[in-house]
Structure 1
Amino acid sequence: MSQSKHSNNKPLKDQKNKLNTYAHFSGIAIQMFAIIGIGSYIGVRLDHNYPNEYNLYTIILSLTSVIISIVFVIRRIIAGSKEK
């Protein structure tokens, strides 16, 4: 009987690990989306308040926020791989 308990726990543990991994990477994606969204929004608001010909604030802050979010993701992945 003890063997059936151990064999039943392993699939459940694997399923929990997969769910935790999915939740971890989903959280990273949401944070990346938030960083890019906030940076772009600030750029749009600055272009609205200080108009210019090429919407430079939006372009600069959007690109900067994309770079920041990529660096953030890379750091989180590296930190996660060091934990395991």
Structure 2
Amino acid sequence: MNNPNARSHKEPIDSLIIYKKRTDISNLDPEERDYLESYERGEWISDLTPERVKELQAYARVTLEEREKEREGKKEIIDP
């Protein structure tokens, strides 16, 4: 079964977006990361519901935001 929201293989791929996605999901459990990546490629994953995909994506966004805040906080301490 195909995912109607999956990107077409004919669309151009932006390497920066791919890098950012890798950063976003790097803290996920390896199994969940594999599921999320497969789902985003349009592959059918029976173990992941759309709700769970949204949860994983939200977790990844929050993780990235927290990392950025930590980096900014360290910069302020080093360079007041």
Which structure is higher in helix share?
Answer: 1
**Higher RCO by CA contacts (8 Å cutoff, separation 6 or greater):** 2
When normalised by structure 2's length, the TM-score is 0.39
When normalised by structure 1's length, the TM-score is 0.38
Larger Rg: 1
